[in-house]
């Protein structure tokens, strides 16, 4: 009789039980060897990116290790449970990635300013004073609340938490105003 395999639902459930009760590395290794390639294929299809797919596999299997005690065999198979974890992590990755795509930092603005000014004189590197003057002109076009946050963070060098405390507003509001202001500045610079 051949040895049981993790694709046998009862055996996979037993492996999860061993991980939950004994923190069995051997059981986890067997489960990992079986599910990691399947998770990798699933994640690669979903993301189209090998590195992100590998990150999803690692995150999923780490959750399997830590949450094995939550698996209930009467509610579904081990494979269903593991792929549900992977799906939820995929949603988290997509949410994070969507936020990052819209996230700007001040460093994103400097190359745009520098490119515009290269046409003035390619022989000289523009100094920071000129860049700061140009940025100040653009900042004047921001809504007052966004302008205040940008000045406190990028001119006075305060952290976002310090700005939130100083203005007595939630940290999330500071982050939102910063992001919106940086997007607006980038648009202004690119259209000039």
pLDDT average, residue stretch 63-70: 94
Residue 103 has pLDDT above 60, yes or no: no
106-191 and 9-102 share a CATH fold:
no
- Model pLDDT, residue 45: 85
Domain range list for the chain: 9-102, 106-191
* Polymer length of the chain: 192
Q: Is the dihedral of CA 172, 177, 180, 185 positive or negative?
A: negative
Residue 109 has pLDDT above 70, yes or no: no
Higher pLDDT, 61 or 153: 61
- Model pLDDT, residue 153: 82
Residue 169 has pLDDT above 90, yes or no: yes
Give tens-digit pLDDT for 110-120: 554 444 444 44
Answering whether pTM is above 0.85, one says no
For 106-191, CATH number? 1.10.10.10
Could you tell me the CA-to-CA distances from 180 to 37, 158, 168 in Å, in that order? 41, 18, 19
Confidence of residue 52 (pLDDT cuts 50, 70, 90): confident
9-102, what's its fold? Rna Polymerase Sigma Factor; Chain: A (1.10.1740)
Residue 10 has pLDDT above 90, yes or no: no
pLDDT average, residue stretch 58-65: 94
Higher pLDDT, 130 or 41: 41
173: CB partners within 8 A, 6+ apart: 164
Q: Is the dihedral of CA 154, 159, 163, 166 positive or negative?
A: negative
Under 8 Å between Cβ of 62 and 18: no
Other beta carbons within 10 Å of 183: 15
């Amino acid at each position: 009789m051949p040895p049981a395999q993790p694709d046998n639902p009862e055996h996979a459930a037993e492996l999860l039980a061993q991980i939950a009760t004994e923190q069995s590395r051997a059981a986890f290794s067997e489960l990992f060897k079986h599910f990691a390639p399947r998770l990798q294929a699933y994640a690669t299809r979903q993301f189209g990116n090998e590195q992100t797919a590998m990150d999803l596999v690692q995150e999923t299997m780490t959750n399997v290790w830590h949450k094995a005690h939550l698996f209930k065999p009467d509610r579904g198979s081990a494979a269903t449970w593991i792929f549900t974890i992977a799906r939820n992590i995929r949603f988290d990755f997509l949410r994070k990635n969507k936020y990052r795509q819209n996230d700007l930092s001040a460093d994103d603005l400097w190359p745009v300013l520098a490119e515009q000014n290269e046409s003035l004189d390619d022989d000289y590197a523009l100094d920071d004073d000129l860049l700061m003057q140009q940025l100040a002109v653009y900042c004047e076009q921001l809504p007052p609340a966004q302008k205040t946050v940008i000045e406190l963070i990028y001119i006075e060098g305060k952290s976002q938490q310090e700005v939130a405390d100083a203005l007595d507003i939630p940290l999330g509001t500071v982050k939102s105003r910063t992001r919106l202001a940086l997007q607006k500045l980038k648009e202004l610079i690119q259209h000039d």
